[in-house]
Amino acid sequence: MNNRHLLFALHQLPGIGWKTIQRLVSRFETLDDMRTLEPREWTQFGFTPGRAGQMSSALRELSERTLEDWLARYEREGIRWLTVWDADYPALLKETADPPWIIYGKGDFSLSGRLCIALVGTRTPTVYGKLTAERLGESLANAGVCVVSGMARGIDSLSHEGALRGKGGTIAVLGCGLDTVYPPENKALFHRVAEQGLLLSEYPLGTLPRAGLFPQRNRIIAGLSVGVVVVEAALQSGSLITANLALDYSRDVFAIPGPIHSAKSQGTLKLIKDGAKMVTSPDDIMEEYASRIASEHSAYIKDTKETLGIMAEDERKIYELLESGPKTIDQLLGQSQFNFGHLHAVLINLLMMRRIVELPGSAYTIP
């Protein structure tokens, strides 16, 4: 067996983590040599005596037939796997400090070579967060960007939904094996991403979701992307882990401002105070990567209106109020009868769609 197949085989065995593989790869130029290790030698890799004996037996007894059976299962599931040694392993991900030794994918692997931007945020978004994630995902995808997220409830799922309506594609990085739909209510989204985008995981088939796997998943989201956008997040949100990882990887970090009284905006507001780029329009993101946008999408940089679609009912109501002339936010509150949070969400979406512009003194007008 060659190193690539032995790495795959190691990955199928329970209890083999990233650091164990690192130690084995560092010690053995040819991984086949590890199959001769005695149980007591396996204890040097952090295994208990009982588990060391199991590892020794499993690798000594590993046969070509067993390997073929494992490989056949992945093929039946339509899953492709890449090792960190493969030429078509995602280049940006390989640059990180701890890239997955193996990634498993179902769908269009070429998306990982596109300009990828991650959208992340709370699992329990406000109406404002929901609208923003979906619209931003769609706008970025229509500009040719591949939207990366983690298919969690809330902002992640909405970002994927928006991107699927665009044409740039989307990658969902899972915290479990590709044979598990999590959360269960995302079953339809799971299959749509597999058909129109890419499902990705570093975990072998049969791996069930558990809390400790999701922070590890976040490093892949950050590693695949040139930038991470935090859409809506509280101060303790796990999406801030992804933003911090992006900084560690020298990637760009963006944040969308929200109402100062909303707990769900405190994480993004802090990021902005700490130096993240504030986003009030997709152009705030796209201008950072203008030279990498494909020529067929260059018109987006000049005028995003062509990719915006139809305004929602509440957006049209505010737009029509502004047709008579500029108005302050207080005037809009009184005339629309919206509450502040909802009005703020509608205004942000109209700004992102470039249907309106903000004037000094918290006033708005049609350009």
pLDDT of residue 298: 47
pLDDT of residue 241: 94
Give percent above pLDDT 90 in the chain: 66
pLDDT of residue 135: 92
Model pLDDT for residues 26-59, shown as the tens digit of each residue: 999 999 999 889 998 888 888 889 888 988 998 8
Residue 26 burial by CB count (10 A; 0-12/13-18/19+): exposed, middle or buried?
Answer: exposed
Per-residue pLDDT averaged across 64-87, rounded?
95
Per-residue pLDDT averaged across 134-139, rounded?
93
Per-residue pLDDT averaged across 71-88, rounded?
96
Beta carbons within 8 Å of 214's beta carbon, 6+ residues apart: 150, 152, 175, 238
Whether 302 has a pLDDT exceeding 60, the answer reads no
Whether 111 has a pLDDT exceeding 60, the answer reads yes
User: What single DSSP character describes residue 168?
Assistant: S
Nearest Cα residue to 149 out of 80, 218, 90: 218
Across 127-131, 304-308, 323-327, least confident range: 304-308
Whether 91 has a pLDDT exceeding 90, the answer reads yes
Whether 226 has a pLDDT exceeding 80, the answer reads yes
Sheet with 327-328, strands from edge to edge, namely: 327-328, 363-365, 357-359
Model pLDDT for residues 171-222, shown as the tens digit of each residue: 999 999 999 999 999 999 999 999 999 999 999 999 999 988 998 999 999 9
pLDDT of residue 306: 40
Q: Rounded to whole angstroms, how far apart are CA atoms 298 and 301? A: 6
**3-state DSSP assignment of residue 321:** helix
Average pLDDT along the chain: 90
Q: How many CB atoms lie within 10 A of CB 66?
A: 13
Let me know: does 343 contact 321? Beta carbons within 8 Å.
no
pLDDT of residue 170: 98
Pairing, β 277-278 against β 252-255: parallel
**3-state DSSP assignment of residue 78:** coil
pLDDT of residue 347: 87
pLDDT of residue 293: 64
How sure is the predictor about 258, in pLDDT bands with cuts at 50, 70 and 90?
very high
